[in-house]
Structure 1
Amino acid sequence: MMTDSLVKLFKRDLNTLKIEIESYKNENNLWLIGDEIKNSAGNLCLHLVGNLNTFIGATLGDTGYVRQRDLEFSLKNIPRKELIEQIEDVTTIVVSTLKTLTEADMQKEYKRRVNEDFMTTEFFLMYLTIHLAYHLGQINYHRRLLDK
Structure 2
Amino acid sequence: FPIAGVLIHPKFEAKYGLLGTTFGGNHLACAAAIAVLEVIKEENLIEHAHLLGGKWMSHLKKIEGVKEVRGKGLMIGIEFDFPIQELKQMLTNDHHQLVGTASNKNIIRLLPALNISQVEIDLFNQALNETLSIVLSSKFETRF
- Structure number with greater Rg is 2
More strand by share: 2
Q: Per the shorter chain, which TM-score range?
A: 0.3 to 0.5
Q: Calculate the TM-score normalised by the size of structure 1.
A: 0.38
Q: Calculate the TM-score normalised by the size of structure 2.
A: 0.39
| More relative contact order, 1 or 2 (CA 8 Å, 6+ apart) | 1
